[in-house]
Structure 1
Amino acid sequence: MKIRSIFTLVACAAALSACTSSGPRPLPPISQGPTVDGAWVDANGLVSTFGGGRLETRTSDGSNKVMATGTYTQQANNLVSITLFSNIKQTTTQANCAMVTPNQLNCTSESGAQFSLARRG
């Protein structure tokens, strides 16, 4: 082998040894959109509190009566799926909501009724 070839091999080996890593690099955190957790109010003044996959709707007239309870799942693209049991009508309703801003949910129930919820500050 020629000296030049040996020198080239040694230089390449040195360059490659500088490329080693101590393991895979951590991925950057996935950016989450706004969360639905918190208190929301509808046009009738009912307050719905979302947290941990459960929700509860109460009156705001001072009696603080539980009107409905249910569950929700927050999905991709700021969509929220709600299943709600009415304590008054004794019925279960499903609704799909879109979080159009961090402070507004626009919802449509399975019957086609539309309603909005505003985040309570």
Structure 2
Amino acid sequence: MKRLRAAAALALISVTLAACQSAGPIGNAPTVIGTGGIEGNWVDPNGITSSFNSGVFVTRTTDTNEKLAEGSYRYETPQLVSIDMRSLVRGTTSRVNCAVVSPSQLNCTSSAGSQFTLTRKAAG
């Protein structure tokens, strides 16, 4: 249980404290997200899975599938997604902004300024 709490806290911190990173030199940001947008499953460097489905955001542990956070998301622009989420572990709410760098990469940051990257999880 202690290991799960530590992993959940680390995952939550990486998600809630993340901020949008630059997509590279000006003009290199994608202009079209693609037909699927960000819908589907994404994974962070710690192996925590985040899903985006019809405006609903959920983060779960990989090993036990325990829900860590939930919320909603919306496109601010075709290249910027805003996530309003509630930590089920800490009982806090936060906003995270993610830049759509490519169809398989989101660079994210929270209002606190921490940054992380989500990578689209391969199907199967």
Contact 1:48 1:57 in 2 (8 A): yes
* 2:16 corresponds to 1:33: no
Identity %: 44
Distance (whole Å) between structure 2 residues aligned to residue 94 and residue 76 of structure 1: 16
Task: Tell me which residue corresponds to 1:51.
Answer: 53
Q: Which amino acid aligns with 1:55?
A: F
How far the C-alpha of 1:32 sits from its partner, in A, is: 5.1
Unaligned 5+ runs, structure 2: 1-30
Higher relative contact order (CA 8 A, sep 6+): 2
Task: Tell me which residue corresponds to 1:4.
Answer: none
Aligned residue pairs, count: 90
CA RMSD in angstroms, aligned pairs only: 1.4
Give 4+ residue runs of structure 1 displaced > 4 Å after superposition: none
Question: Which residues in structure 2 correspond to 1:84-95 (within 5 Å)?
Answer: 84-95=85-96
Task: Tell me which residue corresponds to 1:5.
Answer: none
Under a length normalisation based on structure 2, what TM-score does the superposition of the two structures give? Answer: 0.69
Unaligned 5+ runs, structure 1: 1-30
Task: Tell me which residue corresponds to 1:80.
Answer: 81
